[in-house]
Amino acid sequence: MKPSRRDAIAGAVAVAGAMLGTPSLAAAQGTTTRTPWRGGGPFANVKLMVFDTFGTVVDWRAVVIEEGARLSKAKGFTLDWGAFADDWRAAYGPSMNRVRTGELPWTKLDVLHRMSLDTLLAKHGITSLTADETREFNRVWHRGRPWPDSVPGLTRLKTRFTIAPMSNGNLSLLTNMAKHGGLPWDCILGAELAKHYKPDPEAYLSPVEFFDLTPPEVMMVAAHQTDLAGPKRLGLRTAYVHRPYEGGSAGTQTMPVAGTFDIIVKDLRELATILGV
């Protein structure tokens, strides 16, 4: 009998646990990995690279501010759109927790974003938007702007690895974002396929299952240390990409201590160079 999906994930967790005693090259050296990889060492078996998207691959905040400013100008009201963007993003975790705890059934991120948006519009007394305008503004998350290094870096990595998003965004959101920004994914992965939001282990292990791999054959790439802690515990390879301006100004993201993750880089082009592509 073919093992169930739950059994497959449980097996992957067991494999990951058995491998956690093997330190990464960066951890062993106590330094950030910055010399080009030439095919050996801890990354020799990596086949699939999966990427957080919001903040890591695209600048979500700038687009929310820009589109919000155009909307308020057209409708004749003023608003601190930087603060609004931050409040909208702050509602992200609590809304997913409602799904995680069972308060809500599985609900895709577009719907959670819309619930948060409606709450914020009411909070700020914004009543002049039509239903169509509100619906379209909620889709601003589909139009994240790639950081300058994202497309060239991903294009290089794609020559050696299978690359895909591993985001809490739903499939239509991630597909539209890729088409809008020219992101060269090989396929679209994410929480909607696993029916689990990060940081649930099932979300991080779903690429392992889908591609019939072991955890060390998958590398998770993210600009948030919290998004890498789970994959590291599960035995996936990890790469941190520093995005100091994700929050709008330098200093909003703290560089991790050397050795915290397998690779620590300033952008995706440097990641490609380290991995020899």
Q: Which of 87, 115, 143 is the last residue of a domain?
A: 143
Q: What are phi and psi of 220, to 5 degrees?
A: -95, 130
pTM of the complete model: 0.86
Return the exposure string of 78-117: e unless at least 16 CB atoms fall within 10 Å of the residue's CB, then b.
ebebbebbbebbebbeebbeebeeeeeeebbbbebbbbbb
Residue 181: which H helix or E strand, with range? helix 171-181
Give the total number of structural domains in the chain: 2
In whole angstroms, give the CA distance from residue 35 to residue 239. 14
Judgement on whether residues 65 and 164 belong to the same structural domain of the protein:
no
Residue 164: which H helix or E strand, with range? strand 162-167
Whether the Cβ atoms of residue 18 and residue 10 lie closer than 8 Å to each other:
no
In whole angstroms, give the CA distance from residue 267 to residue 271. 7
Judgement on whether residues 93 and 109 belong to the same structural domain of the protein:
yes
The CATH number for 73's domain is 1.10.150.240
At 41 the pLDDT is 65
- At residue 133, does pLDDT exceed 80? yes
Judgement on whether residues 100 and 85 belong to the same structural domain of the protein:
yes
Q: To the nearest whole percent, how much of the chain has pLDDT over 70?
A: 84
Domain containing residue 263: 5-57+147-274
pLDDT grade for 254, boundaries at 50, 70 and 90: confident
The CATH number for 190's domain is 3.40.50.1000
How do residues 95-123 score in pLDDT, each as one tens digit? 999 999 999 999 999 999 999 999 999 99
How do residues 135-169 score in pLDDT, each as one tens digit? 999 999 999 999 999 999 999 999 999 999 999 99
Coil vs helix vs strand at 165: strand
Whether the Cβ atoms of residue 263 and residue 238 lie closer than 8 Å to each other:
yes
